Structure 1
Amino acid sequence: MNGEPEVHEESEASERSEEFEARLKAYEGRPAAATGVGRDPVNEPMIRHWCEAMGDTSPAYTGPDAIAPPTMLQAWTMAGLSRSPERTAAYDELLRLLDESGYHAVVATDCEQEYLRPLRPGDEITFDSVIESVSDLKTTKLGAGHFVTTRTDVRAGGALAGTHRFRILKYAPARRPKKQAPGPPEERRPRPVVNRDNAGFWEGVARHALLIQRCTGCGDLRFPWLPGCNSCGSPEWDTVEASGDGTVYSYVVMHHPPFPAFEPPYAVGLIELAEGVRIVSNVVGVPYDKVRIGMPVRLDFRRYDEELVLPVFQGVAE
C-alpha cells in the first residue's frame, strides 16, 4: 500500500513526458525559414575575404572561372547581425515551448553540408529551411535537453546547389557543485599530439625556442608545421626561430564548458607573429576581458607540470 502513490506519481510524470515529447515531435517537417533570399549574390570580395581568413590559396577560387569555396554554402544565406526575417512562427513557437519548459540554454553542436553543384560569382541565392528533427530528451554534461536539427536547401537560379543541416541543443543547465577555494588543478593538461611532422617544433619548445618552418625552395614561412610547402610543393625545409613579438589577430574567451586542468574564463588568441605566420595559444598576464584585437604580445614559455611546457603570449602594455 505504501508504494502505490509513488507508482501513481511516476506514471503521471511519464505520461506528461510522453505528451511533451509528442508536442515537440509535431514540429518536425514544419518550415523554419521560407522563401529566404541571400542578402548578396555570390561575389568575389566575399570569396577573397573567406579565403584570406582560412588561409586557402587554391587557384579554383580566383580568376575568370572562379567558384566559391563549397564550405561557404551557409555564408550566402546569413542575415548578418539582424534577426533573420525569413524565420517562421513555427520555429519561434518551438523555441518558446522549450524555453518555457526549462530548456532555456542553447549551444550549437554541429553542422553537416552536402554539395551538389559549385556556386559562381553572380549566382542569386534562395533558400528554405525545415525543422527536420527534434530529439527525445537527452542527458549531456551540459544538462538535459533536446537536439533540434534544421535542414536548409540552398538554391542558385532555382536549382538545388547544396544542403546545410544545423543542430542545436536546447537544455536546462546541470547544477554545478559549489566552487572550492582556488588551488592547483588535480588533472594534468592534455598532452600535445607529437608525430614525425611536428616533432621538431616540440623539441624547440622544450628548449624555449619557437621554431617556424621555412621552405628552402621558395622561402615561404609556414605554421603549423607541414610535410610540404603549400606555395610551391617542395618537401625540403629548414627552420627560423621566432623573435617572440606578435599581436592578437583574433581571440575568444572560454567560459564553458569546464574542462579538467583548465580554469575558465581564459583568453585563447590567434597570434600573428612578427614573421607573418599565426599561432593559437593562451593570452596571459592581462585580465581575460582586457584582451583586444591588435594588442601587442610577447612570447613566453610556461611549465604546467614535470613534462609539459607550452608557448604562451604575455600581453604587453601599449
Structure 2
Amino acid sequence: MSDAEFQERIKAYEGRSAVVGGVGRDPVNSPMIRHWCEALGHPVPVDGTAPATMLQVWTMAGLSGHGDRSGPYDELLGILDAAGFTAVVATDCEQEYLRPLRPGDRIAFDAVIESVSPRKTTKLGTGYFITTRMDLRRGTEPVGSHRFRILKYAPAPPQKPQKTAAKRPRPVINRDNSGFWEGVSRHELLIQRCTDCATPRFPWLPGCDRCGGQGWDTVRASGSGTVYSYVVMHHPPFPAFAPPYAVALVELAEGVRMVANVSGVPYDKVRIGMAVELEFTEVEPGLTLPVFRAKEEV
C-alpha cells in the first residue's frame, strides 16, 4: 500500500465516533475535588464547585480501562500499530467550560475522531497526530468540551552522541521575575509575599492569586525543604541534559513549591518526603541555578 493510499485509509476515520453514550464512573463529588486541589496546591473553591480544569477527571476510565470506547477508534489505532506506528504519546489538549460543575452532577459524554494529520516527522519519530473531541453534558445540558491529541509514531533510531557540548537554555527574564533572578545572582532564593493577605507565592506573579492584591514584598527562603513529588526524565533527549535525571517538586519550609534538580544522590534514589537543602550551582559560566541537595546520602 502506498503512502497516499494509507493516508486515505486512516483519514476515512475522521468524523467517526470514539465514544458513544459514555457516563462518568462517579458523580462530581467533594472528596475528589478536595484531593485534586490538595495535589495541585489549588485552593478548594468556597462555593463547593469543581475547579473548571477538573473537567477531564469526571470522564476518566481508571485502571479498569475504556469500556465505553467505540470500535472505530480501536480500529484506527490497530491499523497504525500494524503499520509499525506502535508508540504513542499525548501531545496537548484544549478545553472549553460552559457551566460550573457541582457535587452530585452526573456527567455523560460522547467523543468523535475529529482529525487525523498527514504523516509528520518529529524528534520522537514519524507518525500521525490523532485528535479526538469529547462533548460533555449534564442530562441534555452541555457543560464543556475537551480536545485531546496524541501522536502515534514509529520510534526514531537512537541518536548519536553530540560531539560538542550544548549549552543549557537560559531563563526568560522579564519585569515580573527579574527580582527573583537578581536574588539568585546573590545566592538568595526570594519568595514573593502579598502585602494585603500575607500569602507567599512562587513562581513570581504580578498579583496575588488568592486575594488579587497587587502589592508585595519578598521573603528570603531558609533553604530547607522536602521532595513533594518528582519525575525521572528518560525521554526525549534534550541538548545539554543527559537522561536519566530526576526533576523534583520541592516544598519549601515557607509553604511554597518549586521545580528544581536534586543533587547528592543518584536519580533513582530520590524519594517523596526526602529532606533537601538549598544550594546554588554554576552549571555553566554565567548561569547559576538554585538546586537542592539531599541532606543524607541514600
- Give me the TM-score of the superposition, normalised by structure 1: 0.87
Post-superposition Cα deviations, 1:182-238, rounded to whole Å, max 9, x if no partner, equal: x9x622111111122222211111121111122333332221122333334443332
Partners in 2 of 1:95 and 1:214 — Cα distance? 49
Distance in 1 separating the partners of 2:19 and 2:11? 18
Find the counterpart in structure 2 of residue 6 from structure 1. Answer: none
- Per-residue CA deviation, residues 232-261 of structure 1 (Å, 9 max, x unaligned), is 444333222212111111111111111111
1:72-91 matched pairs, under 5 angstroms: 72-91=54-73
Structure 2 distance, partners of 1:231, 1:85, is 40
CA–CA distance in structure 1, aligned partners of residues 212 and 70 of structure 2 = 49
SS in 2 for 1:36: strand
Q: Following the alignment from structure 1 to structure 2, what is the Cα–Cα distance between the partners of residues 56 and 304?
A: 32
Name the CA distance, whole Å, in 2 between partners of 1:86 and 1:101: 25
Aligned position for 1:119:
101
Task: Mark the CA change 1:127 to 1:232 in structure 2 (over 3 Å): closer, same or farther.
Answer: closer
Q: Which structure 2 residues correspond to residues 47-196 of structure 1 after superposition, within 5 A?
A: 47-57=33-43, 61-63=45-47, 66-179=48-161, 186-196=165-175
CA shift in 2, pair 1:30/1:187, >3 Å: same
Moved over 4 A (4+): none
CA distance in 2, matches of 1:97, 1:38: 28
Write out aligned runs for 1:1-80 (5 A): 16-57=2-43, 61-63=45-47, 66-80=48-62
Question: Which amino acid in 2 is paired with 1:35?
Answer: G
Tell me the alpha carbon deviations over residues 137-170 of structure 1, each in whole angstroms, 9 at most, x when there is no partner.
1112221101111111111123221111111000
Kindly tell me: are residues 218 and 175 of structure 1, through their superposed partners in 2, closer, same or farther at Cα, counting changes over 3 Å?
same
Contact 1:123 1:157 survives alignment (8 Å): no
The yes-or-no answer on 1:300 pairing with 2:282 is: no
Task: Give secondary structure in 2 for the equivalent of 1:212.
Answer: strand
- Code of the residue aligned with 1:25 in structure 2: it is K
Distance in 1 separating the partners of 2:263 and 2:21: 47
Could you tell me whether the CA contact under 8 Å between 1:34 and 1:129 is conserved in 2?
Answer: yes
**2:133, 2:167 → 1: CA distance?**
40
SS of 1:194's partner is: coil
Cα displacement (A) at 1:177: 2.9
Q: Calculate the aligned-residue CA RMSD, in Å.
A: 2.0
The one-letter amino acid paired with 2:13 is Y
Which has the greater radius of gyration?
1
Deviation for aligned residue 1:126: 0.9
TM-score, scaled to structure 2: 0.92
Contact in 2 for aligned 1:133/1:150 (Cα 8 Å): yes
Alignment of 1:239-250 (within 5 A): 239-250=218-229
Could you tell me which residue of structure 1 aligns to residue 288 of structure 2? 309
- Distance (whole Å) between structure 2 residues aligned to residue 194 and residue 26 of structure 1: 47
Q: CA deviation at 1:298?
A: 1.4
Between the two proteins, the alignment pairs up a number of residues equal to 297
Give how far 1:277 is off. Answer: 0.9
Identity of aligned residues (%): 67
- Give 3-state SS (helix, strand or coil) of 1:81's partner: helix
1:119 match: secondary structure: coil
The answer to whether the aligner puts 1:225 opposite 2:204 as a matched pair is: yes
The equivalent residue for 1:256 is 235
Structure 2: tracts of 5 or more residues without a match: none
User: Which of 255, 270, 277 is the aligned partner of 1:276?
Assistant: 255
